[in-house]
Structure 1
Amino acid sequence: MSSKQTYRFPFAQYPAVRIALLMVGGILIGDQSEIDLSVLLTVFGLVCIITLLLDHLNKKRLSPNIKRFSTLLFLSSLALFGWIRMELSEQKTKLLIVQTLTASPWSEAELEGTIEQISRTASGKPRADITILETSLESGAFSKEEYKIRLLMEDGEFKQGDNIRFSGTVIPVSEKRNPYQFDYRAFLDQREISVQIRLDSLISQSKNNNARTWNWWRVRALKLIDQNFSKETAPVAKALLLGYKQDLEGASKQAFARAGLSHIMAVSGLHVGFIIAPFWIIIPFFWSKKYGRISGLILLILILYSYAGLTGFSSSVIRASIMAGLLTFGKLFNKSPNSINLTGVAAIGLLIWKPGQLFEIGFQLSFSAVLIILLVLPIIQNALPYWLRLRWYAKPLMVVIVSIVVQLGLYPIQVFYFGEVSLISPAANALFVPLLGLMVPFALGCLIISTAVPAFAATLIFPVEIFLKGMNAFVGFSSGLDWAWVETSLPSVLLFPFWAALIFFIASWRIPLIRWKWLTVSMFFFCVILSESVINKLDNRELTVTVFDVGQGDAALIQTPNRKNVLVDAGVWSPGYDSGVSVILPHLKEAGIERLDAIILSHPHADHIGGILSLIEEIEIDVIYNSGYEYESNLYRNYLELAEAKNIEVKSVKAGDKLNVDPALIMLVLGPEGEKFNNDPNQHSVVLNMIYEESEFLFTGDAGEDQEERLLENYGELLDTDFLKVGHHGSRTSSYSEFLEEVTPEIAVVSLAERNRFGHPHAEAIQRIQQTGTELYFTSRDKALVFISDGKRIWRKEWE
């Protein structure tokens, strides 16, 4: 008689992983909850006391149920600990001084603090993250509470570690205002920064001369790199050796990402491995000495701690340092630590130190990559023929295999955050990673020598200079290849559990009793994803209109029932801001829209065509419709020239034209009329009437009183609509009563910025609109707005 085989996962081998997962659960709950910290501490204390009592009583052999309950309480205490740690980390944002500043936007304050990090905005202006030590408010209030701010500047010569005293104006931190837009507020929250201040005047500045701080040593190391490398290679050297990427231009970062080499610019386990490789080789020497093992461990800890300090204690370096330290401890003392469990130990340490790191991309990529390598690579290695492992090309081949494994394993995370995947990555890593193993420790050694013998170090470092120039050339060339990388989007959030189940299926290949269970789980999620996609394609007969919040400008995306995509206006352009880059393109990429079937530009002002250049550069466009109004501006001329260079047809439309985009829709052009009747581009706006069965939409650009009168003369009651995009941002020169009496919209949307130099919206225009009884929305107040129509009615869809 045979019994059914079963398999019990050896949880006891991975205690740190279990603890880390429970802490992660607690941190996630803590991030979303608003429970008072004192309540949590009380509950945590009671749980711990009860657990200890039950554990004591359990020694008297109580029932299994009591034992299970005790275990459950213990596991709950670990999750509670993560929850409490998250709440404690958020206490700095709840300080009275922080709450006072955030509640008083545009107020002035005098502050003193230490610069922790310097970076640049998209427009190239400097900004600094500062730990504030003293704060004086306009009201006379004074505080010595410590917290972090982000300082915005027009210019300034500041160094990391400088102590400065300054006066500034509190600038509100912009929240996420559009679907798929980068959440700047959440980004700062992860770094425990809740206040943003604009520098008005610098009162005093003193250099950091305290050699006992890591800031001082980091600044010193960066200065050494500037002295020993050329201007061309110094930014790359700083990123490669110290993880300092502030001097890298955005185009360079993008090129490295598309070449699949961005990971070498973020100091991680790869770099730590390069640093300790020489130490690992001489471990047998420490075995032979009386106190060799202790001395070796102390030396290793000093090396790892020093390098972590120089690189700014990033999560990837700390994770790698903890693992390297524990692995070397095992090597020195003849222990065999479990690498997966060590990863859990590293995660626990990081989450206790800074629980907010759980939400950082670097933390997620770093730990995911390590776990994928540890789980999947042994299976692949065992699958390789023995003879192949003995060949001279075995090690380069393994570099390629590791790169492919990591690239595939991280696919959902890369798509979710970046929307791009490098295809040339395996080849690029096979070429450069082995060389980096030599160059990184060699370059750091040369920098150390340069402090004593500068001239000799400059000669020694020449090979590294040549290597970096060659790598720059390769990155520039490869990232420009059409096939080197692909843009893609996340088809469903269920891709994450599907991918995880697939990884566990491969990892459990040698355990038949559970591998097929993982395959079943992965196939279940695959079928759900496929079904979701099919259902969406078959049943989605809805029309979606997304009115973006682009500030003082206009941009709206129309997604038709037959999956055509039309953009009405392209937002704002100003020095340092491009609606195309900041709002529209991220939305299109995340929504999986790879081409625009048409762009309709109502008129040639920069608040309506601002993002057109970036759109032409980055996405396929079938045709651009405009009003035909000739306008003198560089932006207008440049977009016409660029469209011609890209072979994009530009058509001028006039009243009476019909746009054939989707057979399910009728898209009629109501304006402008063919002839030019004044010198105001606003009065020659493209006015679009879109009809989907029983639902009608009217887009009026910046049409004013003159054009509204002509529309009334020509169309009268035919202007009646359900949805109105209000003309000219709610200006008093638009939306006149006679026009609104014919239009009678159920929904009206005003697109504008909260603070604008025109004083929009004007009260008289808004009063006229409100008198029609319409449901009125403002992008300045309501953020981006998404409306859905099934052909019978129109309703607003919440996107947050």
Structure 2
Amino acid sequence: MNRYPLIKFALFFIIGIIFSKYFNSSIPVLFISSAVTISLSILLAWLKKFNLSVILVYFIIFVAGLTYSEVRNLRSVSYPFEDPKINNALLFGEITDIDLIQNDRISFKVRTDSLFANKEYYSSELILLTRVFDKNLSRTFEKLKIGTKVILKGTLQKGRETRNPGEFNYQKYLESEGINGLFNIYRKSDLKIVDDQSNFFPQFIFELRKGIDEKLSRFHNKETYGLLRGLLLADRKLIDYETREEFINSGVVHALAVSGLHVGYIMLIFLILFNRTNIILRISLTIIGLLFFLLLTNSPASVFRASVMSITGLSVFLLNREYNGINALSIAAFIILLINPNDLFTPGFQLSFSAVAAILILMPRFSKRIEKLKLKKFYKQILLFASVSIAAQIGTLPFTLFYFGKLSVIAIFANIIVIPLVGLILPLGIVSLILGSFTPWFGFIYGAANNMLVTLLFNFVGLFSNIPLAFLDVINFSIYDGILFYIVIGFILSKTFYGFRLSIKFIVILLLIINYFLYSKFDDKSIIKENLLTLIYIDVDQGDAFLINFPNGKTALIDAGNATKYFDTGKHIIHPLLKQLKIDKIDYAFISHLDADHYLGIHYLIENGIIDTVYKPVTDLSVRKEKEFLNFLTEQRTVYRYYHQNILSIGNTSLYFLSDTTDFVSKRFDSNNKSGVIKLIHGDNSFLFTGDAEIPSERYLVNKFGKFLDSDVLKLGHHGSKTSSSERFLDFVAPEVGIISAGIENRFNHPSDIILQRLEQMDINYKRTDKSGAIIIQSDGENYKFIDWRNFDTFTLSN
């Protein structure tokens, strides 16, 4: 460690930042702990156990990291309003940053001067991520400048928080980026530019980014354009969800990010361009070029790290000093954390630095082993290349499992093909930009060649990701699991382990692996348990979706929420939740009726082979969407059945279908009143699901079933609308608890105040997904209880 003095400083600074985040430290506590530590250090120094000056230096660095993080966090941002969503808000402010245009939106940050919302005036400064959703946004985008004053009318809202178990907290991410909340505009006419002023340098960089983006779009097809936009401009928004998933499954998602590989190419290009100048000028201009590229990419952690390390390497070469990668990496980390200590807790920082640190630590060991092998040079080069991938995989494994929940089995082999391909695509993209700027013909020629390479790349990645067992789902990998992993790796790399005989090493590694899996289970907690009935009322915004895990392990889904071109509930909420629960198959899917907010989300689940059997109302062939859905089920070869009054026994539970959509009375109902109504009985506990059934359907149910409707828990009809939940119906159901599934501040004003007052008057407790997020109930057949899933910090949702 004496060769790497800077890493000690960086580590103690990092420990201070971590201490600040995870331990509530106040100034008095800090002073007391400092006094105790200094006193202990003096005592140890007096006893000649430690070097006092060294201890004090490290302690000062630790306190500096802690204090600096505390001071920075005093300025931390949050969403300041009580209402999570405020319609018709009016904002006056200044554009501080602009994203590159997307297919269906433009996004930019606004610093507010004043804000009028909920009939109140706010003058405090906020940073809001503003998104404009409309058609033909190109002209509007061209008018925007960094520094321009604007007046905006739209919806002010909080970013989506963790509304369901295991879900990504978007609001927390926004706050980590210094953004208070979102401001959505749905008509471009609601964006008014007050003046044409701009901030020169930020606008200059943005115009360059925009110009490069336009040329990339002009010279390449859609797929190549999206990839190069990510590789050169650090904007991956045009890379579609399916492609990113394939890269994750193949273990090569890092290839989509701007990284050290790209910085290396940029440095090489500048060195070649300035080859005829003297060494001092050439390196100086190259450093300026790297800094310019850093600004051009909006300074993501990976580019910052690679740029600092490259600049350090060029500087020590110029000064005729020895370059040390560990020290350069430490400098990069220290500078980034000085700018923003919270970057330590971002995936980009963690993945980038852990990968490079592992390569710097492990590659010398791998290289020595490979050099001893009696192989041809070509094969040794392949092994060295594979070793770099292995080292990076080891270093990033805990973070990969924590953020993506997948362990790619074929990552090493995929990297051997993918990285060289990206290594060709990137410089070819740069060449097409440079030559195309002078002669468009060259841009199209090189662009066409790149299109072929990208097609080849995507085909390879798609092939790798679809190989059986190409990746394993690793659910809820925790921070503690990651720490334990690094402890095991540290021991394997230690001198103690190095001194063991080969047979002893094998036994020790085997024992370490066994103990790792045993200890990693200690912090696992389970929500879903065997032999219990678990019901999850999923928060899908304005819609319905309810997941049932039966005591015998079978699963059912009642409705699946909505799907639009902006957001697919099946893809982005239900499927990730199923993965968290380790549920591969839905045995029974019950579609209450064919309103968009109840059934469109199931398309994605059916297309991906997750749904076994679908139950639905009888098809009315005169209604286009019903005919299309029936055709869809037929094309997907999905088994479907119509609701009629019967009983479905699953384990020791019974599902009673109370709606018969084939009888004469039901056929006269409208779509809402044709909703499939299901009563679930588990021992002494019962649960009633009513879809969007309204008063006519409720009247029919009361007349036909009377007291059989009595249930412990009622899912209120039509999201708590006043057209449902009549007093007579509630009298017969007599629920202890009512569940209302509705979106936050939805445009229908669900649930109705009339219904809420009725529930209170009838002494019926109620819970709302728009207030609570997902609602989870567990029943053992005698009693049922609500599960406070938010208190599960790290948990395994199923056994």
TM-score (norm 1): 0.84
2:134 equivalent to 1:154: yes
Q: Is 1:667 aligned with 2:652?
A: no
Aligned residue number for residue 454 of structure 2: 471
Alignment of 1:781-792 (within 5 A): 781-792=771-782
**Per-residue displacement from partner, 1:715-742 (whole Å, max 9, x unpaired)?**
3333332222122222333323333333
User: Which consecutive unaligned segments of at least 5 residues does structure 2 have?
Assistant: 791-799
Shift of 1:405: 4.4
Mapped to 2, the partners of 1:282 and 1:508 lie a distance apart of: 45
Matched, 1:376 2:358: no
Paired amino acid for 2:92? E
Q: Report the Cα offset of residue 428 of structure 1.
A: 4.2
In the TM superposition, 1:428-467 aligns within 5 A as 428-434=414-420, 436-437=422-423, 440-441=426-427, 443-444=429-430, 447-448=433-434, 454-455=438-439, 458-459=441-442, 462-463=445-446, 465-467=448-450
The offset of 1:165, in angstroms, is: 2.5
Q: Return the offset for 1:281.
A: 10
Structure 1: segments with no counterpart, 5+ residues: 1-9
The aligned residue for residue 62 of structure 1 is 46
Whole-angstrom CA distance in 1 between matches of 2:411 and 2:263: 21
Cα displacement (A) at 1:590: 2.1
- In the alignment, is residue 413 of structure 1 matched against residue 399 of structure 2? yes
Query: Contact (CA 8 Å) 1:603, 1:686: kept in 2 or not?
Result: yes
Q: Give 1:62 shift.
A: 3.3
Cα pair distance change 1:433/1:761, threshold 3 Å? closer
- What is the rounded CA distance, in whole Å, between the counterparts of 1:537 and 1:316 in structure 2? 37
Task: Name 1:4's counterpart in structure 2.
Answer: none
Task: Work out the CA distance in 1 between the residues paired with 2:120 and 2:716.
Answer: 45
For the 8 Å contact 2:616–2:640, the answer to whether it is kept is yes
Question: Do the aligned partners of residues 647 and 77 (structure 1) sit closer, same or farther apart at CA in structure 2, a change above 3 Å counting?
Answer: farther
- Cα 1:465–1:16, aligned 2, differ >3 Å: closer, same or farther? farther
Q: For residues 318 and 718 of structure 1, what CA distance do their matches in structure 2 show?
A: 66
Note if contact 1:687-1:700 (Cα within 8 Å) is conserved in structure 2: yes
When residues 460 and 775 of structure 1 are mapped into structure 2, their CA distance, relative to the original with a 3 A threshold, is: closer
Does the residue aligned with 2:605 lie in a helix, a strand or coil? Answer: helix
Which amino acid is 2:46 matched to? L
Report the secondary structure of 1:108's partner residue.
strand
Q: In the superposition, relative to structure 1, how do residues 512 and 742 fare at CA in structure 2: closer, same or farther (>3 Å)? A: same
Closer, same or farther in 2 for the Cα pair 1:127/1:335, shift >3 Å?
Answer: same
Query: Superposed, which structure 2 residues align to 1:311-710 within 5 Å?
Result: 311-333=297-319, 335-384=321-370, 386-387=372-373, 390-407=376-393, 410-420=396-406, 422=408, 425-434=411-420, 436-437=422-423, 440-441=426-427, 443-444=429-430, 447-448=433-434, 454-455=438-439, 458-459=441-442, 462-463=445-446, 465-476=448-459, 478-479=461-462, 482-483=466-467, 485-486=470-471, 488-490=473-475, 492-493=477-478, 495-508=481-494, 511-512=497-498, 523-529=514-520, 540-630=530-620, 635-655=625-645, 657-661=646-650, 663-672=651-660, 674-677=662-665, 678-710=668-700
The one-letter code sitting in structure 1 at the alignment partner of 2:158 is: V
| Equivalent position of 2:294 in the other structure | 308
CA separation of 1:29 and 1:172: change in aligned 2, threshold 3 A: farther
Do 2:402 and 2:476's aligned partners in 1 also have CA atoms closer than 8 Å?
no
C-alpha distance in 2 between matches for 1:100 and 1:770: 27
Matches within 5 A, 1:731-770: 731-770=721-760
Query: Letter of the aligned partner of 1:108 in structure 2?
Result: L
- How far did residue 609 of structure 1 move? 0.9
Q: How far off its partner does 1:307 sit?
A: 1.9
Residue 114, structure 1, aligned to residue 99, structure 2: no
- 1:255-274 pair list within 5 angstroms: 255-258=246-249, 260-274=251-265
Shift of 1:215: 3.0
- 2:793 match: none
CA shift for structure 1 position 565: 1.6
2:796 counterpart residue number: none
Aligned residues: 767
User: Within 1, Cα distance between the matches of 2:274 and 2:698?
Assistant: 84
Is 2:154 the partner of 1:172? no
How big is the shift at 1:181? 2.5
Q: Distance in 2 between matches of 1:635 and 1:425?
A: 43
**Maintained 8 Å contact 1:209/1:216:** no
Query: How far off is 1:80 after superposition?
Result: 4.1
Identity %, equivalent residues = 26
Paired residues for 1:110-259 under 5 Å = 110-118=92-100, 120=102, 124-132=103-111, 134-135=113-114, 147=127, 149-154=129-134, 156=137, 157-158=140-141, 162-168=146-152, 169-176=154-161, 177-199=163-185, 200-204=190-194, 206=196, 210=200, 213-226=204-217, 228-229=219-220, 233-258=224-249
Is 2:618–2:661's contact at 8 Å kept on the other side of the alignment? Answer: no
CA shift digits 1:293-326 (9 cap, x unpaired): x656534422321221222211101111222233
Q: Does 516-525 or 161-170 show the bigger shift?
A: 516-525
Equivalents in 1 of 2:614, 2:432: separation in Å? 56
Distance in 2, Cα, partners of 1:47 & 1:218:
49
Q: Is the 8 A contact 1:316 1:363 kept in 2?
A: yes
Corresponding position of 1:7: none
How far did residue 599 of structure 1 move? 0.8
Q: Secondary structure at the match of 2:181?
A: strand
Q: For the Cα contact (< 8 Å) 2:221–2:451, is it kept in 1?
A: no
Name the amino acid aligned to 1:665: T
SS at the partner of 1:111? strand
Deviation at 1:616, TM superposition (A): 0.9
Quick check: 1:547–1:785 contact (8 Å CA) kept in 2? yes
Kindly report the root-mean-square deviation, in angstroms, between the aligned alpha carbons of the 2 structures.
4.1
- State the distance in 1 between where 2:777 and 2:402 align: 25
Q: What code does the residue aligned with 2:369 have?
A: A
**Structure 1 counterpart of 2:795:** none
SS in 2 for 1:158: helix
Match of 1:5 in 2: none
State the Cα distance separating 1:570 from its structure 2 match. Answer: 1.0
Deviation at 1:268, TM superposition (A): 0.8
Structure 1 Cα separation of the partners of residues 366 and 341 of structure 2: 34
> Conserved in 1, the CA contact under 8 Å of 2:401 and 2:477?
no
Return closer, same or farther for 1:94/1:612 CA change in 2, 3 Å cut-off.
Answer: closer
Q: Distance in 2 between matches of 1:636 and 1:407?
A: 48
CA separation of 1:299 and 1:221: change in aligned 2, threshold 3 A: same
Cα distance change, pair 625–182 in 1 and its aligned pair in 2 (3 A): same
Cα pair 1:498 1:526 within 8 Å, conserved: no
Q: Is the 8 A contact 1:258 1:479 kept in 2?
A: no
Q: 1:502 to 1:650 in 2, by over 3 A?
A: farther
2-side partners of 1:540 and 1:14: how far apart? Answer: 52
Give 1:165's aligned amino acid.
Answer: K
Alpha-carbon spacing, 1:279–1:389, altered in 2? closer, same or farther (3 Å): farther
